[in-house]
Homo-oligomer: A and B are copies of this chain.
C-alpha cells in the first residue's frame, strides 16, 4: 500500500521533468525512498516517459538490489543509493541532463550565488565534484559517482545545498520527497540559466552578500521562515 503510493509519487515526479522540459527521450531519473523499510522506488532504465506506468517503477533496497518489479532500474541507481545513505533527510533524488545546469557541470564551475532566487533555494554556491579518476570510472562507476558527491559534501561541511554538479556529467538534486527533488531540479535549471546570462552581461559579476543570502534562505527555511502558508518549523 505504502509502496503503491510511493510508486505513484515517483512516477509523477519523473513526469514533472517532462512537463518542465528538463529531459529528452529517456534521459533523467527520479527516485523516492520509504525510510521506515529502506526501500527505494526508481524509474526503470531506458523506458520512454510517455508510456511509463506506476507499476513500471522499480523497487530496490539500500544495497541497490531489485526487490520488486520486472524491469531493470535506472543505471544511475547506485548513485542514488549513496546519496540516500549520506543524507538521512533525503526522501527523493532527481538526476537530469538539463541543459544549463549540465553546461556548468561541463565547464567544471560551481554556480555562484548571483541573486536571491539562488539564495531562496540553495544555501551556498552549487558545488562541482572533482573529475573521477580512471580507476573510479572503470570500477563501480555509478557508485563511485555517488561517493565523489559524498566526499565533496564532507569537505564542504554542509548538507544545506541539496544540489551538486558532477564534473563533465550533469546535476543531481535531492529533497524531502521525490516531488521535492524534481522541483529542485527545475529551479536549479532556472538558477543555472540566470547565472549564465549574468556572466554574459558582467563577466566580473560577484555573489550577493552573505547577509542577503542568509536572509532569503532563512525566510523560506528553518524555524524563522515566514514565506508561504504553512510553517513547518
Contacts and interface: CB of A to CB of B under 8 A. Distances in A.
Interface of A: 24-27, 44-47, 71-72, 75, 97, 99-100, 102-109, 114-117, 131-132, 134, 137-138, 141, 168-170, 183, 186-187, 190, 193-202, 205, 208-209, 211-212, 215, 219, 226-229
Contacts of A205: 106-108
A137 B227 contact: no
A170 B227 CA distance: 17
Contact of A168 (B71, B97, B99, B212): B212
A99 B131 CA distance: 30
Contacts of A116: 97, 168-170
A198 B44 contact: no
A134 B72 CA distance: 53
Nearest to A208: B168
Contact of A44 (B27, B99, B211, B229): B229
A163 to B, nearest CB: 15
A78 B223 CA distance: 22
Given A115-B169, A116-B169, A229-B71, A103 B25 contact: no
Contacts of A24: 186-187, 190
A98 to B, nearest CB: 9
